[in-house]
């Protein structure tokens, strides 16, 4: 089996605390937008995710943006949702991505199309994220397509999944993590964490089942830009847990200083997560605020980083 080029996997295997970030592709055929984001993040991350038509809004496809990131010297994590493609296209895209040197795959269900700019689109969901994990693993390890035929040139991918410890019902989130690990997830990126107590409870459940040793868990972080953003996320975004204390902390600071306070909160959260057993890194989702990532990584004492 040929070696995977995943820097992320190399860093995690070596026992280092990994840093990944997220880059959203542009809403047009503008590769330079991706290159700009790459330049901001290079040297501060071990790998960078590219979202896949996030919130069901059409953007440059993840595979293309990942290729551009790689050209800029960053290890890319291709996010793949189940909303827009059937198993034929999914396997085809995995082959394509691997052929372009993309080494990491994050398997997701995908936001429902009702949230995006094409709510009338047909909803695919031929397979779900757990089945997609299995399919990717089977292509790589058994050189078999899900239909049973041979893969001539298995795709070498470091395969991951997402978990949301803050979704309901809470009691199902560790069993769900177990399912994803059983299906083939080698790394996990969590939804962004503001409620450390709840996250600690989740991690305890994960550790009790030894899941932290079967997959590398990276804790999600999103720097809050303002109290308004925090309130919006708390009230309107499903699966988001933003404690009142966090919102109050931001409100307690004058508007133009809230961004800085948001970064402070992110850095403090990372520092607490570093010492939480089973947390092997952080995944910083600074949506349309990639400039915040270098500052956060440095302030949290996570340098040096090799983006490869």
Partner 1 sequence: MIVGERKPIETIMSYLEGSENILLTGCHGCVTVCCTGGQKEVDILASMIELARMKKHKAVKITKITVERQCDPEFLTELIEKSKDNDLVMSMACGAGVQLIAEKIGAKRVFPAIDTNFIGAVPEKGTWSERCQTCGDCKLALTGGICPVTRCAKSLMNGPCGGSRNGICEINPDIQCGWQLIIDRLEATGCMDQYEVIMEPVDWSKSRDGGLRKLVREDIK
Q: Is 15 in the site for partner 1 (CB under 8 A)?
A: no
**Under the criterion CB under 8 A, does residue 167 sit at the interface with partner 1?**
yes
Asked if 199 contacts 272 with a C-beta cutoff of 8 angstroms, the reply is: no
178 makes contact with partner 1 (CB under 8 A): yes
Shortest distance, position 109 Cβ to partner 1, whole Å: 5
CB of 239 to partner 1, least distance (A): 4
- CA–CA separation, 49 vs 20, rounded Å? 7
Please say which residue, 5 or 131, places its beta carbon nearer to partner 1. 131
130 is a contact residue toward partner 1 (CB under 8 A) = yes
* The one among 117, 142, 168, 268 contacting partner 1 by CB under 8 A: 168
Q: Is 213 in the site for partner 1 (CB under 8 A)?
A: no
Residue pointed to by tokens 């969901």: 125
Instruction: Determine if 172 is a binding residue for partner 1 (CB under 8 A).
Output: yes
Please, which residue, 7 or 164, has the CB nearer to partner 1? 164
Which of 28, 58, 99, 114 touches partner 1 (CB under 8 A)? 114
129 binds partner 1 (CB under 8 A): yes
Q: Is 164 among the residues that bind partner 1 (CB under 8 A)? A: yes
Residues of this chain that bind partner 1 (CB under 8 A): 82-83, 87, 109-112, 114-115, 123, 125-131, 134-135, 146, 162-164, 167-169, 172, 175-176, 178-179, 182-183, 191, 238-239
């Amino acid at each position: 089996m040929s070696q995977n080029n995943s820097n992320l996997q190399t860093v995690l295997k070596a026992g280092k605390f990994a840093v990944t970030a997220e880059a959203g592709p542009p809403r047009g055929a503008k590769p330079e937008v991706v290159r700009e984001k790459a330049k901001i993040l290079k040297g501060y991350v071990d790998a960078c995710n590219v979202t896949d038509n996030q919130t069901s809004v059409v953007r440059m496809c993840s595979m293309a943006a990942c290729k551009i990131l790689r050209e800029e010297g960053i290890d890319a994590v291709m996010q793949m949702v189940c909303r827009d493609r059937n198993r034929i296209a999914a396997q085809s895209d995995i082959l394509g991505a691997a052929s372009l040197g993309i080494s990491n795959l994050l398997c997701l269900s995908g936001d429902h199309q009702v949230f995006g700019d094409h709510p009338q689109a047909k909803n695919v969901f031929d397979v779900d994220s757990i089945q997609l994990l299995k399919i990717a693993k089977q292509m790589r390890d058994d050189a078999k397509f899900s239909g049973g035929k041979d893969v001539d040139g298995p795709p070498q991918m470091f395969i991951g999944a997402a978990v949301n410890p803050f979704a309901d019902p809470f009691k199902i989130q560790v069993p769900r993590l177990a399912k994803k690990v059983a299906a083939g997830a080698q790394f996990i990126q969590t939804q962004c964490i503001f409620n450390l107590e709840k996250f600690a409870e989740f991690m305890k459940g994960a550790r009790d089942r030894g899941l932290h040793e079967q997959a590398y868990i990276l804790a999600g972080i999103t720097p809050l830009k303002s109290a308004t953003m925090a309130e919006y996320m708390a009230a309107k975004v499903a699966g988001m847990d933003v404690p009142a204390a966090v919102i109050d902390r931001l409100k307690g600071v004058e508007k133009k200083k809230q961004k800085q306070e948001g970064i402070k909160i992110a850095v403090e959260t990372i520092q607490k997560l570093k010492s939480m057993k089973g947390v092997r890194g952080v995944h910083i989702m600074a949506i349309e605020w990639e400039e915040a990532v270098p500052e956060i990584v440095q302030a949290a004492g996570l340098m040096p980083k090799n983006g490869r």
